[in-house]
């Protein structure tokens, strides 16, 4: 049987567990937690319905933490499991607030991905940035080495191998090892977009993608050892 939890939009400044929050009868977010480890709620700012999966309904009550800002407005709701924190909701009541939060997330993401790329100490023949706009916005980076490029070309059957096809394969991220793919935090970003005001999601997603790409160009690319035919390729995939 599903359980419903009413979380006040306004409360005393601070961070509280579920048992510390009292339903005063004012504005609330109603979280519905289902036995199938699924949770649903409607975003106050947009009415967007958020559905989250792989949540333990048995631990929801003990893990939920809700933070209120200095004005008593809800800031965010999270699940805390030891050091692991999972965002459930973030208050982005207007476009200005949402854009500031998304830009901050994107800038931090660019720093994290750049540091990881640099730490791998690979000589890059290609540096790929791949992304996909959807309800869950996917984004990742990947270095392609000369050896991986040659392996990709060699995988083309000899009777079908042409100069044009070989060039396509060299520049196609999907033909390089997927295990080397470094993703961003798709989950957190997607929650932010779903919690943004109605009609702003596409613009905010585009802003975030552009910010991360430019950040990687600025921070990671100059620090990499590169081949003479090195290329930076940022493309959206289907």
Rounded distance, CA 130 to CA 236, Å?
6
Handedness of CA 216, 218, 221, 224 (dihedral sign): negative
Highest mean pLDDT (candidates 13-22, 52-61, 110-119): 110-119
Q: Judging by DSSP bridges, how do beta strands 123-132 and 225-236 pair with one another?
A: parallel
- pLDDT tens figures, 151-204: 999 999 999 999 999 999 999 999 999 999 999 999 999 999 999 999 999 999
User: Which pTM was predicted?
Assistant: 0.90
Q: pLDDT value at position 169?
A: 96
Q: pLDDT value at position 153?
A: 97
Helix axes 201-219, 186-194, angle to 10 degrees: 150
Segment 62-71 mean pLDDT = 95
Mean pLDDT of the chain: 93
Q: pLDDT value at position 24?
A: 66
Q: What proportion of the chain, given as a percentage, has pLDDT over 70?
A: 100
Q: What proportion of the chain, given as a percentage, has pLDDT over 90?
A: 81
Q: pLDDT value at position 91?
A: 97
Q: Under a CB-based contact definition with an 8 Å cutoff, are residues 45 and 196 in contact?
A: yes
Segment 85-102 mean pLDDT = 95
**In Å, how far are 65, 150, 164, 177 from 158, measured between CA atoms?**
59, 13, 13, 21
Q: pLDDT value at position 71?
A: 95
Q: pLDDT value at position 59?
A: 85
Residue 50: other Cβ atoms inside 10 A: 19
Q: Which helix (H) or strand (E) holds 126?
A: strand 123-132
């Amino acid at each position: 049987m599903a359980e419903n939890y009413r979380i006040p939009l306004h409360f005393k400044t601070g961070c509280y567990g579920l048992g510390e929050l009292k339903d005063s009868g004012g504005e609330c977010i109603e979280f519905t937690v289902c036995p199938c480890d699924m949770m649903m709620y409607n975003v106050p700012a947009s009415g967007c319905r958020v559905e989250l999966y792989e949540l333990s309904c048995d631990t929801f009550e003990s893990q939920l933490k809700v933070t209120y800002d200095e004005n008593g407005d809800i800031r965010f709701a999270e699940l805390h499991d030891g050091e692991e924190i999972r965002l459930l909701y973030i208050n982005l009541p207007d476009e200005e607030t949402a854009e500031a939060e998304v830009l901050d997330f994107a800038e931090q993401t660019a720093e994290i991905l750049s540091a990881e790329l640099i730490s791998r100490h690979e000589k890059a023949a290609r540096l790929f940035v791949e992304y996909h706009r959807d309800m869950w916005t996917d984004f990742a980076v990947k270095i392609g080495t000369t050896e991986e490029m040659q392996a990709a070309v060699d995988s083309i059957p000899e009777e079908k191998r042409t100069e044009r096809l070989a060039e396509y394969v060299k520049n196609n991220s999907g033909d390089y090892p997927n295990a080397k793919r470094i993703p961003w935090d798709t989950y957190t970003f997607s929650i932010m977009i779903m919690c943004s005001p109605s009609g702003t999601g596409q613009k905010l997603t585009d802003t975030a993608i552009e910010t991360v790409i430019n950040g990687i160009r600025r921070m990671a690319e100059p620090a990499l050892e590169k081949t003479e035919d090195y290329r930076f390729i940022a493309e959206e995939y289907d």
